[in-house]
Amino acid sequence: MSENTLAQAPVHLRQGSSIGQPLTRRDGVLKVTGGAVYAADNHPPGLLHAVLAVSTIARGRVAALDLAAARAHPGVVEVMTPGHKPALAQDPDEKAGPFAFRLDLLQDDRVRYANQSIAVVIAETIEAATEGAALLAPRYEVEPARMDLHDAESFFPAVVGAGTPAAEHHGDVDAGMAAAAVRVEATYDTSAQYHNAMEPHAIVAVWDGDKLRLDTPSQGMAMAQARIAGLFGIPPENIHIRSPFLGGGFGSKGMISGPQVLGIMAAKLVGRPVKLVLRREQMYGPVGHRAPTRQTLRLGADAGGALTAIGHHTKTASSSFDDFFEPASGASHSLYASPAIATSHEGVRLDTGTPLFMRAPGEATGSIALESAIDEMADACGMDPLTFRLKNYAEVEPISGKPFSSKALRQCYEQGAARFGWASRPLAPRMMRDAAGMLVGWGMGTATFPALMFQAKARATLRRDGTGLMEIGAHDMGQGAWTALAQIAADGLGLDIDQVEFRSGTSDLPDGGIAGGSAHTATAGMAVHGAGADVIARLAELATGDERSPLFGAGNAGVVARGGRLSRRDDEARGESYADILDRAGLAGIEGSGGSAANPVAQSAYAMHAHGAVFAEVKVDPDLGQIRVTRLVGAFAAGTIINPRMVRSQYYGGMIWGLSFALLEKAVTDRRSGRIMNADLGEYHVPVNADVPSVEAILVEERDAHVNALGIKGVGEIGITGTAGAIANAVWHATGRRVRQFPITLDRLID
């Protein structure tokens, strides 16, 4: 049974029985049987295959391509080059909007990073296209590549991340440092990382006149439509994108990438459907990455362990031709109370692809440094790291002074620590060993991620047969939109979930907003919720205005929608089914719509964040430096939990990303050629099953009356934050060595 009343009841009373249920993933069976169709699985008749030729240098010009050899190769249909390509309506280097990143669409012969597309070979088969691409045998005019964060000339960008100010402060950090009894000043390095979703970027493009049909994974179909529309000079509604399943995105499929657009151009050039799928190594350049950082933390504390100052400065890199600066210092804005906080960013330009949002952009990177520094400070103060964090617990958001819309971090600390057994941790490092003589260490970190809201729309229909339809162009990249949004839809419509048809994943549906910033469930969910409320209101209007209805005269405020019936709030026995109302009105169905957006009033009054606490155990072999994470316990509070199974799964995944950040992920560039030396899954390490410890995620109860009417915060990214630092801190506790370069590798633990 589910319900959606029209009265202004508190949110949690309005929630019916679908929200909060641990339903299994509704698309699970499709996925385990191989029936889920991903972009590259589409194969329209007449399909040609396109393969990118990519540069092997990081900076310079393409001097020559053996076009004749490639064109002559059997099966090759066309070779698209700067000199031979369909005209575009817009310069790909034009900044058409804040999220219109500059793309490499063969506009000229310049090479600005390794793995940049320099030509596209289109052929009857994938083999012929690949062989054709190899025959191009490019020659280059090479210019020296700028690859080192510390060699390049730096500057101060005005904004970082998605447009937040690059420098912020409250209070006087220098004064706070001067007054401090204990000071920690340390520098932390993080490495360049690549998203590496398991599904490579892919596109199947079919032109029909000036209409375009695309199968391509997208975390933001409406944004992709707008970008493609601008580039090709066609109306956005002419572009029909299908993206029912993404094989992971993590930010790299948020904006349409250059290679995807090249697939569309290739289809236009040959006048036939074209499929273009990136090879794994081609994902190390044109589809974004997390830039390396060097972060300098300055912490001061008084004799009692109360922070007097937090200074967090980040040096990071963007590409030579566009701006995206990893907003790492922002992590220090909201976590720990301090009378003085100053954060700043400094940028350099390197000959790489443009960095991009990568799961917990800024927060992940900044949190590993901040949590390490906090741990160093706790140690310097002779305090237990949890005690120290509680001592500096922020009752209001430190940088802004705003109250939190809700904050159950204290409960996260308590529940996580209890579950982990933190209380028996020896204060000093290198005190614990296991039976095999391995050093054992325990560390912790605080997790945080802002609760964001974007804009979305949804459409709801109640049908005469008593079923409902909810339509929204939402995105499921694995987080469970097919399930969680259907749950919200069921409650919004006052129907059992089995009575609701949920349509999603295509661009012809109402714009579901972007799946990013951990905000998709909140954003799309609120649109769905609103559409449900709207259609119920219209139905109620029909019934309460009709003398033949038992609800006649009840008035909107007095009607409850539940289990496919409207009934009087004061007397639930008096009511009738949706079907009866529609039947009598002679309607096949009734439609409503909803939209969602952040509430600016609430946003200016409150700081909105999800929080968590992560506890880690590691073992280190004192002879070999091998590190193994053996236990992770995370406790997270993120407002209303729509589906605890999906949420737990997000926390697990996030925590493993934290492990990966701390111990594994690092792109290694050859400083001379600018090429990435480990551009594959064999050498760019992400965790395998055996790297993963026992993991527990505790869902801490939290109600939030301000973030949105359903009280939803995000859960997709927070798991990385806190975890990476907890592991780094556990390594210190095991070994007594503070490694400040991430990932922590074995050679840093033995000499």
Partner 1 sequence: MASEQISFCLNGQVVVLPPTTSAASSLLDWLRGPAGLRGTKEGCAEGDCGACTVALEEPDGARVPINACLTLLGQMHGRAIRTVEGLRDAAGGPHPVARILAEHDGTQCGFCTPGIVMSAWAAVTGDGDPHEALAGNLCRCTGYRPIVAAMAAMPREVATPAPVPASTAACFHAPGQAFHLPRGLHALLSLRAAHPDAWLLAGGTDLGLRVSEHRERPPEVICLLAVPELQALHIDAHGIRIGAAVPYHRLLAALRGLDDPIAAPFARLLARLGSAQIRGLGTLGGNLGTASPIGDMLPPLVALGAEVTIASLCATRRMAVEAFLTGYRTNALAPDEVVTEVIIPRAGPGDVVAMEKLSRRHDQDITAVGLSAWLRVVEGRIRAARVALGGVGPRVLRATAAEHVLMGAPWSLETVRAAARMLDRDIAPLDDLRGSGAWRRAAAAGLLERVWWRATRPDVEPMEAL
Residues recognised as catalytic: 717
Nearest approach, Cβ of 283 to partner 1 (angstroms)?
A: 10
In angstroms, what is the minimal distance from the CB of 134 to partner 1?
Answer: 7
In angstroms, how far is CA 126 from the centroid of its own chain?
32
Task: Considering the complex, state which of residue 68 and residue 198 has its C-beta at the smaller distance from ligand FES.
Answer: 198
Placement of tokens 């729509």 in the chain: 642
Alpha helices in 575-719 (DSSP H): 578-585, 600-605, 644-663
Q: Smaller CB distance to partner 1: residue 238 or 649? A: 649
**Torsion sign over Cα 577, 581, 583, 584:** positive
CB of 618 to partner 1, least distance (A): 10
Question: DSSP for 390-415?
Answer: HHTB-SB-TTT-PBBS---HHHHHHH
The DSSP letter of residue 572 is: T
Which C-beta is closer to partner 1: that of 319 or that of 479? 479
How many angstroms separate the CA atoms of 696 and 276, rounded?
A: 40
In terms of Cα–Cα distance, which of 90, 73, 82 is closest to 111? 82
State phi, psi for 562 to the nearest 5 degrees. -160, 135
**Which partner, ligand FES, partner 1, none, binds residue 685 by CB below 5 to 8 Å per kind?**
partner 1
CA atoms within 13 A on the CB side of 196: 20
* CB of residue 248 to ligand FES, shortest distance in Å: 5
Shortest spacing between CB 247 and ligand FES, in angstroms:
6
Sheet with 117-123, strands from edge to edge, namely 76-80, 117-123, 48-54, 274-277, 202-208, 211-215, 239-242
List of residues 6+ apart from 699 with CB closer than 8 A: 636, 641, 644, 647, 648
Cα separation, 457 vs 699, whole angstroms: 29
DSSP tally for the chain: helices H, then strands E: 16, 30
- Least separation in angstroms between residue 199's CB and ligand FES is 8
Nearer to partner 1, 40 or 610 (CB): 40
| Pairing mode, strands 274-277 and 48-54 | parallel
Identify which of residues 190 and 193 has a Cβ nearer to ligand FES in the complex. Answer: 193
Can you give the binding site for ligand FES, defined by CB under 6 A?
Answer: 198, 248, 478
**Helix, strand, coil: what percent of the chain each, to 5?**
30, 25, 45
Environment class of 66 (CB within 10 Å of its CB; exposed 0-12, middle 13-18, buried 19+): middle
246 binds, among ligand FES, partner 1, none (CB under 5 to 8 A by kind): partner 1
Tokens of 56: 């092997």
Q: Using the minimum distance from each CB to partner 1, give the nearer residue, 303 or 690.
A: 690
> Which residue lies nearer to ligand FES by CB, 686 or 705?
686
The closest residue (CB) to ligand FES is: 198
- Binding site partner of 8, from partner 1, ligand FES, none, Cβ cut-off 5-8 A by kind: none
User: Smallest distance from the beta carbon of 479 to ligand FES, in angstroms?
Assistant: 10
Residue the block writes with tokens 């692809």: 353
Given partner 1, ligand FES, none, residue 32, with its beta carbon under 5 to 8 Å by kind, binds: partner 1
621 contact choice in ligand FES, partner 1, none (CB below 5 to 8 Å, kind-dependent):
partner 1
Instruction: Output the smallest distance, CB 25 to ligand FES, in A.
Output: 10
What is the rounded distance in angstroms from the CA atom of residue 631 to the CA atom of residue 617? 5
Of the pair 75, 466, the CB lying nearest partner 1 is at 75
